[in-house]
Every structure is written in structure tokens, then in C-alpha cells.
Structure 1
Amino acid sequence: MSNRAFTLLLIIAGSVILAFNSLVIVRETERAVMLKFGEVVAPDLATGLHIKIPFVNTVRKFDRRILTLDAPTQRFLTIEKKPLDVDFYAKWRVSDTAKFYTATNGEEVRAEGLLAQRINTGLRNKFGERTFHEVVSGERDSLMTDLTRDLNQITVDEFGIELVDVRVKRIDLPAQVSQSVFDRMKSEREREAREHRSTGRELAEKIRATADRERTVIAANAYRDAEVIRGEGDAQAAKVYASAYQADGEFYAFIRSLTAYKTAFADQGDILILDSESDFFRYLNKGAEK
């Protein structure tokens, strides 16, 4: 290869490198700022293709989308001085590229550190103004809304960051406090259980006594009704017997004698000594006379 061709090849390669370093593309998901020797000259480049001076201008790109800050668990005190371990997260995005670059040097990690400090301070102040119940359930949503609104004004002015939302994922009592609370809740539940069992036993005794009384009353009424029915039956039977006896007294006496014979001679081992002329043998003697 001749010197001329080699020189031409170097010129072409240098031109390509120069052109490559002179063009910058800003995508729709990005925001960018152009610097000139470290000084901001174009605070917010539009989406598309841009030209810069190599080795003079530098373009720093940031994510345009909403980002998530997942902060580590922090401990805050309520107005009653009760400690709470709070796990929270925040949604944020870059709103002012110049301020964001100046405050954080364009580093997301540094931005999240500054943002976490502001949120921790805000949460500490908000928790310190409220009771345990208000923090856990009563005013939790309004607390987060007020905190987001107040902090957003600060983060936009100082860091160029729009704080979209701050939410608490979980609020726990510290381990030692949780154990004492658990023990107290356990003792209260055991006390309630004992009360319920005592009340249940009392009701069971009342129900059992009522059932026994009702059983006694029902049995007495049934026995009374049975005796009344039995008496009525005996009276009806006696009436029938009397009517039958009046209809044919001799036949009725004969039937009664046969029943007496059957009963008297049922067991062959029994010995009965009677006068042959007694009324017991009246119908037998009459049969023998005929």
C-alpha cells in the first residue's frame, strides 16, 4: 500500500470517528443535557438527532420514565414515643435536567440517596405528630398524600426531581416490642377465652336444668294422662262386664267359673282341698247330675 493510499485511509477513518463523535441520539425514553467543558449549555435536548463538537461538548442522558426508590427499613417514633419499623418506597422522575445534573452529577444512585434522606426526614416529622393508631390505620393515606405534596415542592426546587408518590409497604413494631405486644394480646385472648368458657358452662347448666325440669314435667303429665286413660279403660271394661252380667247372669257366672278352673288347675303340682258340694264345683256337679 502506498503512502498516499494509507493517508487517505487515515483521513476516512478519522472522518468517520469525528462524525460518530459529533452525532448524538436522544430516545423517547431519555432526557439529555449538553455540556461545554462541564458547563450546561443545552439544559433539555429534544428527542431526536443532535450535533455536538467533539471533545468540547458532552451529552449526559437520564431516564425519562418513572423510577422506583425502594428504601431500606427505617425506625420512627410516634407522638407517644412508640418505635415503628417502616418499609416504604417512592416513585420519582427527572423534571429539570439542569438542576438534576447540578445537584446529583447525573447519578441516579446519588439522586436516590438525597431523595431517601428527604423522605426519611419527612416521615419522621409526620410520624412524630401522630399517634400509633393514626399512623397504622386512621390517617395513613392522608399522611402519605400530604408528605408527597410537601416533599415534591422541595425536590423539584433543589434536585429537579418530581416526586410522584410515596407509599408505605409495611409498618412493624420492633422485635422486642412485638413480643411484648404479642404476649399481651395472647393474655387478653386467653382471658376472653376463659370468660367465654365460663359463660358457656353457665348456659350449659341452665339448659341442662331446664331440660331436666321439662323432662320431669313431661313424664309426670304423661303418667297422669296414662292413669286417667287406664282408669277410663277400667271403668269402661267394668261397665261392659256389668252389662254382660246383667244380660245373662248365669252364663257370665259359668264363664267366670271356667276361668277360675283354668287358673286353679294350671300347675299340676298344686294341691287344692275343697268340699265337693261347694260353689266352686257347682257347674261340675251339675254336669255329672245330667
Structure 2
Amino acid sequence: MNRIVTFAVTAFIALMLLSSTVFVVDQRKFAIVFALGEVKQVIREPGLHFKLPPPFQNVIYLDKRIQTLDSPEADRFITAEKMNILVDSFVKWRVVDPRLYFVRFGGDEGRAGNRMSQIVKAALNEEITKRTVREVISGQRGKVMEGLRAKVDAEAKEIGVQILDVRLKRVDYVEQINNSVYERMKAERLRVANELRSTGSADSEKIRADADKQRSVILAEAYREAEKIKGEGDAKATAIYAEAFGRNPEFYKFYRSLEAYRASFKTKADVMLVDPNSEFFKYFKGSGSAGK
């Protein structure tokens, strides 16, 4: 009975020792094997591996996947024209040298994040201070991010990290500058509107003057044409009168007298004081004589 108990205890201890010498590395992890606090081995490939039991050797794991470092709030920077802007950014990174990364930060991701934030902020400051607001916001934003990634990646290699991408999520003015920019934009729009109004007024006056000129020319030409037609009509009428007078002068005189009578006695209220023996009543007398 004692032998069975002893065997069972021995087997259990052996199993515990064996299990403490075996470890599995996930495909998403790096494994660092320590011997008495010193890094002895870095395992990059997934699978089953062996080590000495504690306290001779221990294992810690580091994530090899791409991670994101996102700034909690926007940082303030000064541009080339000495204007303050707020920049919100994020960084895509991963561990490429587990040994160096662990030596620098002891596996503390918080310390690693703080260090990378400092690196990114310094690189951002260097890139933004040599560019204007317009260039940072739109004109050279791609160049800013590319230069930023190259600078940050070069420094991040010293801590065992590779920077895959750096992006500017938001670039904005600070509150005071927003107000001044708005006022400047408003003033600029008003200036452009006033220029357009003055240009429109000048064009309107020009069009109106041209229209008045054309109107005067058209009226003058129409008046000239009317006078010409009227003159031709008068000439034809005079010719007709002359021809009629030449054919029968007495009838022509009679006809002209009738027109004079018609013009003189248009209404019953018309009154004329004329000598009855005057030439004006010549045909009245003749008409009366003819009646008799």
C-alpha cells in the first residue's frame, strides 16, 4: 500500500515537473525564455516548446499583431506662420525585435505607448513647424504623414518597434483662431460680393447706355424714314393736285373751297365774322344762283 502511495506521489510530481517544462507558443505571440532573469531565447515560431522548470527558466509572451496607438485628445502645434492648430493622430505599430522591446520596457505596454507618443509628437512638431496651415490641412497632408512615418519608424527601431502607418485624423484651428478665420472669411466674401455688385452696376449702366443709344438711333432712323415717306407722299399729292388743277382749274378751286368750308364749320358753335362779298363765299353765291 505504501509503495502504491509513494508511486502515485512520485508520478504526480514527475507529471508536474514535466508540465512545467512544456509550453505552447500561439501564432499571434512571441515567447521570451528567461534563465535567472536573463533573456536566453526568443521564440518566434508557433508550436510546442520545452524549457527547464521554474525557477530555472520562465516564459513571457509578447503580442506580435499590429496594434493601434490612438491619442486620447488632440495636441497643439505651431505652424510656420505662427498659428496654433490642433492635431489628432493615430499610429499603427508592431513589435519586431522582442528582445530589445522587453529590455527597453520590461514588457510594459503602457511605457511603450508613452515612449511612442513622445516620438510621434516630436516628429509632428518638426513636420508642422516648417509648413503653413493650408499645407498641413490639405496641400501637403500626404507628404506630412509620409515624412512623419519615416521619422517615427527610424526612432522606433531603437526600441524594437516597427511603425507601419501614421495618420492625421483631424487638423483644426484652436477656438480663438476659428473666430478670427471666420471673420476673415466673412470679410473676404463681403469684399468679393461688393466687387461683383460694383461690376454688375457698371455693366448694367453700360448696357443701359448702349440700349438708349440704339433706341435713339432707331428712332432717328425711323423719323428720317417717316419724313422721307411723308415728303414723297406730299410730293405725289402736290403732283396730283397740280395735274388736277391743270385739267380743270375751276373744279380744283371749288374742291379746295369745300375743304375750307368743312374745316371752318365743324360744329354748330363755330362763328365767323366775314364780309359777305368776300372771296370766301364765292361758291356759296354761285350755288345760290345756280339754284335759282
Say whether the fold is shared (TM-score over 0.5): yes
Residue 155 (structure 1) shift: 0.7
Residue of structure 2 equivalent to 1:46 = 45
Residue of structure 2 equivalent to 1:141 = 142
CA separation in 1, counterparts of 2:142 and 2:180?
Answer: 28
Kept in 2, the 8 Å contact 1:33–1:98? The answer is no
CA separation in 2, counterparts of 1:236 and 1:70?
Answer: 103
Residue of structure 2 equivalent to 1:32 = 30
Residue 173 (structure 1) shift: 2.5
Residue of structure 1 equivalent to 2:128 = 127
CA separation in 1, counterparts of 2:106 and 2:289?
Answer: 147
Residue of structure 1 equivalent to 2:89 = 88
CA offset digits 1:219-275 (Å, max 9, x no partner): 233223222222222222222333344455566556556656666665456567856
Residue of structure 2 equivalent to 1:215 = 215
1:242–1:53 distance in 2 versus 1, CA, 3 Å: farther
Residue of structure 2 equivalent to 1:160 = 160
Task: Give the alignment partner of residue 288 of structure 1, picking from 276, 287, 291.
Answer: 291
Residue 160 (structure 1) shift: 1.4
CA separation in 1, counterparts of 2:77 and 2:278?
Answer: 122
**Long gaps (5+) in structure 2:** none
Kept in 2, the 8 Å contact 1:44–1:98? The answer is no
Q: Secondary structure at the match of 1:224?
A: helix
Q: Percent identity?
A: 38
2:239 aligned with 1:239? yes
1:267–1:183 distance in 2 versus 1, CA, 3 Å: closer
Q: Secondary structure at the match of 1:165?
A: strand
**Long gaps (5+) in structure 1:** none
Residue 193 (structure 1) shift: 3.5
Kept in 2, the 8 Å contact 1:85–1:171? The answer is yes
CA offset digits 1:42-87 (Å, max 9, x no partner): 42331344456675543414142x3332223111223444322222
RMSD of equivalent CA atoms: 4.0
Kept in 2, the 8 Å contact 1:26–1:45? The answer is no
CA separation in 2, counterparts of 1:76 and 1:221?
Answer: 74
Residue of structure 1 equivalent to 2:169 = 169
CA separation in 2, counterparts of 1:54 and 1:94?
Answer: 27
Residue 100 (structure 1) shift: 2.6
1:246–1:186 distance in 2 versus 1, CA, 3 Å: same
